[in-house]
Amino acid sequence: MKTLLLCLSMMLFGCVTTSPPVMSQEASLRSWTDITGRFKINGRLIEVRDGDVFLQDSAGKTIKIAVSRLSVDDQKYLEAGDNPFQMVDDGEAVDSPTDKRAESGSSLGTWSSIRKTRWDRARDIVTLAATRWNPPVIDADLSYIPVRAPLTKKASFHEKSHPIVVNVAIGRAVIGYTTTFAVPKPQTRLSLIDLKTGRSVHSDTVEADMRPIALLDDGTSIVMAGNANARGEFEKKDSMEVWQLANKQLKRSGSWTPYPDDDTSYSRKADGEIKSGGTIDADLIYTVTTKGHVAVWRIETQSPVWHGRLHSQFFDIALSTDRKLMAIVDNEVVTVLDPVTGRLMGQQVMPEGSRVSWPRIAFTPNGKQVIVSSGSRLMRLDLARGDWIGQVDLDRAISLNQEFAVPASDFVLTDNRMLFHMPTQTDLCQYSGIESMAMVGKYAMVVVQASENGSLLPTEMPTPMAAQMLDRAMSDPESFVVHPGAKVSIDVTEIQPEYRDQVAIDLKAAATASGLVVDEWGTLVLKAKINGPRQDAINFTGHGSYIVTLYQSFVDLRSGDDLLIRRSDANLSPHMYFDNPRSLERAIEQLGKQPNLNIFSAIRFPKFMSLPEPSATTHANTTALTHAAFTSRGVSE
């Protein structure tokens, strides 16, 4: 048995029979382990060369292994040195960091603009590879309760605030502000907040066009990404820096381009543009480009640990509260992995019939599920079993640019505005005044920027009035115009004769599935309509424009003269994905023969709705059961 294990270890580590290289440093015998943890060998470090580690065992033989195939601890040992970032003690005030290295700027000197990214030394993950479902149980509980924190008012009308970035592990957050209009040169400043004490410090303004994407575990170092487009004069979207906040002064590292020649623009090589990122542990961050190249980096050495190329349009990434799991939706596949090593822990394909369109993903606050959105569909994935345990449809699609959050297990907040209750498929509450938001356990950290000042408000959702409204709906359903058992009639008079009977059957089934009772004298009316055919041009993502035959299908739910819901879908959409022009042309030919009839059978209606009324904040009709406004003092319901 020992002989077999030795042979396997030699196969993995690669026994080198030639004369060993000259030792580059004094080294002691230590145990080395591969990334799987299955193979170990005792040896002295000789040197690291061209991505390989050379070891000498006790018998004097030289062993070679790629750095990327060593365990995380061994890789950290190889890169050991002075940590450029100083950990801030929990008891230290946020507004008075005392890192002398930060004051001198020397701690940021390790970041180099000319450092080459060595992808060959990093593990390459494939999110479409089949793998056994086996993610660990995560800890979603917080060791602290976040408190309200004051924010300064915006420097000017033209100042833009960027989305809040939270480091849940250390209980701190950062907000970036940039002014690019009506100023000679762009200006950027930061607000650093201690979520445990509510204390905050606001930096001086520096000449830059950058935004925060990660707050490091030392509590004062912020990874910044450029904002300017490729033709801009300032920090471009392909660049990153580390900024340290010390005594309200910002110290900046050198600029670094992590994804050189990773993209194409006008048939020419271009650097990859940073979309988002986050902190994984004290030594690691992740980034992802706008074209879906995700990577985890060692901060000090700027070296990738693992990376993978996702679908260039349809992807999203989320970290669990304890940062032990990363969830990726890549086209139609959901992958759960260890963010430190990139080891796949489970994969699941979206339920059959799901249309992939700008997917989003988020963990529930208890860490037991992930919620995936694709277009207007919400899907719930159980992390313990790897099974889909439910799906519902919104009356609107969630676009790529809209914010998406899961503030409680049964709720989704879209566009920082509408709180949707999944079990009843009901728009429960429409919020206003939310500048940006991030989840910290069960708390939504809501950023409010008023004209005089601002606040960071930890909020549990649903808010009290919204929770009371939901309780009322469950206890007194008939007080709402739409409720389980409400009577609805079906009108298909504007449907072409060849489709009319089938649409009537499908709508009756959809109404019944939604808890409504079909009755020709119902006070609610379900009206269907199909427009078309007509010839029009559609610009398909990645393929250009085509002349197609278009139909538009509509479903209206009315109460008298009041329009409660209107949903529509076309037989062809510019957001549909095709691998190649030939498959697109076949789809245009097939789907252009008739309207989209699936909408009539797939549509589902909220369990509860009130008559629409003008919203006090938007002056537009809304069917949310209640409304609430966030101000710097709190939430007003």
Cα separation, 209 vs 237, in Å, equals 9
Phi then psi dihedrals of residue 618, to 5 deg: -110, -15
Cα separation, 29 vs 596, in Å, equals 69
510, 600 in Cβ contact below 8 A?
yes
Cβ-based neighbour number of residue 522 at 10 Å: 17
Q: SS3 of 260, please?
A: coil
Q: What is the CA radius of gyration of the chain?
A: 28
DSSP label at residue 270: E
**Which amino acid belongs to residue 426?**
T
Q: Is the pLDDT of residue 355 over 90?
A: no
pLDDT of residue 205: 92
Q: Is the pLDDT of residue 136 over 50?
A: yes
pLDDT of residue 637: 79
Residue showing tokens 């050991």? 80
**Which amino acid belongs to residue 448?**
V
Per-residue pLDDT tens digits for 34-76: 877 777 888 888 777 766 788 877 777 778 787 777 888 888 7
Q: Is the pLDDT of residue 214 over 50?
A: yes
What DSSP assignment string belongs to 155-208? Answer: SSTT-EEPPPEEETTTTEEEEEEEE-SSSSS-EEEEEEEETTT--EEEPPPEE-
pLDDT of residue 190: 95
Q: SS3 of 258, please?
A: coil
424, 161 in Cβ contact below 8 A?
no
Q: SS3 of 4, please?
A: helix
162, 211 in Cβ contact below 8 A?
yes
Give the CATH number of domain 128-475. Answer: 2.130.10.10
Q: Per the structure block, which two tokens stand in for 286?
A: 């992740």
Cα separation, 341 vs 324, in Å, equals 11
Phi then psi dihedrals of residue 441, to 5 deg: 60, -125
Q: SS3 of 296, please?
A: strand
Cα separation, 461 vs 465, in Å, equals 10
Parse the chain into domains and list their residue ranges.
2-78, 128-475, 487-605
Nearest to 100 by CA among 246, 316, 318, 258: 246
Per-residue pLDDT tens digits for 578-607: 767 888 888 888 888 999 998 899 888 889
Per-residue pLDDT tens digits for 470-528: 999 999 999 899 999 999 999 999 999 999 999 999 999 999 999 999 999 999 999 99
CA angle 375, 379, 385 (to 5 degrees): 150
Q: Which of 40-54, 430-444, 450-464, 473-487 has the lowest mean pLDDT?
A: 40-54
- Fold observed for domain 2-78: SH3 type barrels. (2.30.30)
**Which amino acid belongs to residue 209?**
D
Cα separation, 628 vs 630, in Å, equals 7
